Chains A and B, each alone.
Chain A
Amino acid sequence: MRARLTIRAFPVLVVLAWLAATMTALPAVAQSVAITGGKVFPVSGPPIDNATVLIIDGKITAVGSNVAVPAGTARIDARGHWVTPGLINASTRLGLVEIAMVDDTNDASARGDRQVSAGFRSWEGLNPASVLWGPARNAGITSVVSLPGGGLIGGQAALVDTMDTGRPGLVRKAPVAMVANFGEPAAGGTQARGELLMRLRELFDDARVFAARREAFENAGTRAFAVGRVHLEALAAVLAGRMPMLASADRATDIEAALDLAAEYKFRVIIQGGAEAWQVADRLAKSGVPVLTGALDSIPASFASLGARQENAAILRKAGVPVVLIAEQGETFRARTLRQHAGNAVAYGLPWDDALRAVTLAPAEVFGVADSVGSLQAGRDGNVVVWDGDPFEFATRATHVLIRGRDARTASREELLIERYKKRDAPRTP
């Protein structure tokens, strides 16, 4: 009997709440700096030419063309440059996967319980020393959602800053979503789409009963559930509205199934992947369900994504769907290609301002951190990037990447290798 083996959940909840509070409250080393003279894209409002972004103690205190800079404040001269919020890649495995094919650098997939890992808090294994933070950061990405995956319910995701400090400093909010598979029956341990949905319903039903009859459960007075306590606990949090379900689905019918289940069990859902989301754009818009999608996908790469097209983001946005651009699902090394996706989305019809929103404020809103990042406004954290041109162009470089006001650019491993091998006459081995 599963119920007999469980311990009381109350302390776990307390610990969870404490962790959440601690994680959002811990300030990193903060700085004060004025970014002056640039073309500023607050995203929350229209662009401002020749404007100043003032950051005091890691927080933005003013944005505008007439901002008084306190004497002695460090300055970044951004004349001729573009200033944007730090980019957010909402679908990565940064910090969870270092080298995909080296098992002991992989902490993104849990073994789980019959393909269900709802209780898996992936960020607890986050590696702040990953060499992949640097390249993402240097590409202007200041926050990412780092998510688990695999099975039917992959586990819980966190939104983390790409700063090279210890783990508590990295995690901005956790959990931000429960990752679930709505589109790949085989990966979910099932054989048919209907069976996949059957299992999901079974889980939600169990989580409902578990939450409602908690005391009976502790006294072994409930029926046997499909999965163990930690997973039911976490699923109950989804049903209680404490975190959204991040549903991977490409086929239009799979997306609709996710919408149906969300309506039936009254949980908030976000679609990830969404190759055919454009086919159900109106319904997504009506339900206000956001879609996380890349912009390079044009290939009918499986029978579940026959309708893949690069206009996806543009069509969704036009219909009124909150669009979040990602660089494919769960990227690690290539998480840094986010701005290429944004540029390509523009080439395929997404207005430029919407593309910038889709990699800044939109993901911040979707994952509940818009009060601290995603836009340049007083009161937000100083996650700001200065670019020497259009951020989506390949020739453009991020000249400054600030996280909470601190310049977070570092020599990446890649840059160290280039330095070593550029010096052709230098001895290469000791």
Chain B
Amino acid sequence: MAETIVRIENLVKRYKELVALDHLNLEIKEGEVFGLLGPNGSGKTTAINCLLSLLKYDKGKIQVFGRPMEPDTYESKRNIGVVMQNVAVFEELTVYENIDYFCGLYVTSKAERKNMVEEAIDFVGLQEFRKFYPKKLSGGLLRRLNIACGIAHRPRLIIMDEPTVAVDPQSRNKILEGILKLNSQGATIIYTSHYMEEVEQICSRIAIMDKGQVIALGTKEELKKMIKEGETIQVDLMELSEEALTEIGKMPHVYSAVYEDNLLTVRCSGGRHNVIRILNYLQEQGVSFGQVYTKLPTLNDIFLEITGKELRD
């Protein structure tokens, strides 16, 4: 069984009246790409800052690599890579110098560091930009530099706090591919985001946060099983009688059927052949239909069902 790398127990963090973290509990195993998903203000970054021992907290325990995490737990810190939400680099240092600076805070051997820096530059694809100053880099390249500064020392645990904010799709894909590559090389990743697609794409386990609490935790599949909605079917129809709509609503696995603006929306709680059954019925009734869409539940649907609000609200 994989070793627990991070253990957070009953973590409480208050900003005066506001409870930013409300008895947060998390356990992250070695080798995971662990996603922390939640809307802005849900407590993801606060949790990360407490984990990194940057923030004081009111209550709770944090252990990293089996040791309590404190500001001067240098042995643990040496094995952690951090990619902050905001790009944190020196404007006056080149790409190479920035990476070397941060790597040098973890690795003292100059020769060893040289290889690490070169590898990090290759990894994020900044070979052509090594002598560039950050202000000459585009937003995407800057984010890649930010990542290189966080991973150059080959950490066992990499914490990435919304590393793709304001990044173009091409750079975003590169970053996500890179994260999976780092994971395949043995690094455990904690990835926070409010982009559910990203989290779905790369995370092996996901915690959905809201109001400082974990409201759902599991693999993507486990999370989707938590909600009754298994599939949403939408059909373009010119017209549909009330009677037909009631009949569709009574079909097996269907828990809601709505006809609005020439669009029939049927929500099913799982089961198979739902689309065929509905289309057959419509044909039998002589109802002509246009395009048919089916949609599997997303993390947003899960969030919506649990909290009653959209993830991006």
Say if A and B assemble together: no
